Structure 1
Amino acid sequence: MTDDEIEVPPIEEGTDELLSEAEEIDSSEGMTVRMHQENRLVGRSVDYIAEWSEEGEISSANANALADALSSELAHYTKTDIKSEFKQVFVDGGSGSDGIPFDELIENRLEEVKMVSTTDAKQGLIWRWHFSDGVQLETEKSKDDGRKHYDWNSWKEDYFEALLSLGKGEEIAPPTRDRRDSNDWKAWISSVLLEKATTVEHVGPRTEAVELLRDFVNRQVGFSDVKDMRDRQGIWMDAPPVEHDGEAATDGGGPTEIRIPTQAVKRVCDQAGIETRALQIELDAREHTVPETTGVSDYEFVDGQRVSFWRLDADFAEPVDFVEEPASPAEQVAREQEEAAEETRTDVGAVTEESEDASESDGADEDEDTPAEPENDDESPDTADEPPTAPPDEPLDESRVDGETDDFDTGVTDGFGVDPDEEGGE
Structure 2
Amino acid sequence: MPPKKKVEEEVVGPWMLGRWSRALKVGLVGMPNVGKSTLYNTLSKSHHSKTANVPFCTIDPTETRAFVEDDRFDWLVAQHKPKSEVKAFVTVVDIAGLISGAHQGEGLGNAFLSHIQSVDGICHVMRAFEDDDVIHAEDTVDPVRDINTICSELRLKDISYMKGKVEHHKKGHSAARTKSPAHLKKWEEELETMDKIIAWLEAGKDVKNGMDQWTTKDIEFLNDYGLLTAKPCMYAVNMNKKDFCRRKNKFLKAIFDWVKENSPGSEIIPYCGSYEEELQDMETDAEREKQLQEDSVTSAMPRMITTAFHMVHLINFFTAGPDEVKAWTIRKGFKAPQAAGVIHTDFEKGFIMAEVMAYSDLKELGSEAAVKAGGKYRQEGKNYEVQDGDVIFFKFNLGKGK
Which range, TM-score by smaller chain? under 0.3
TM-score (norm 1): 0.16
TM (norm. structure 2) is 0.17
Greater RCO (CA < 8 Å, at least 6 residues apart): 2
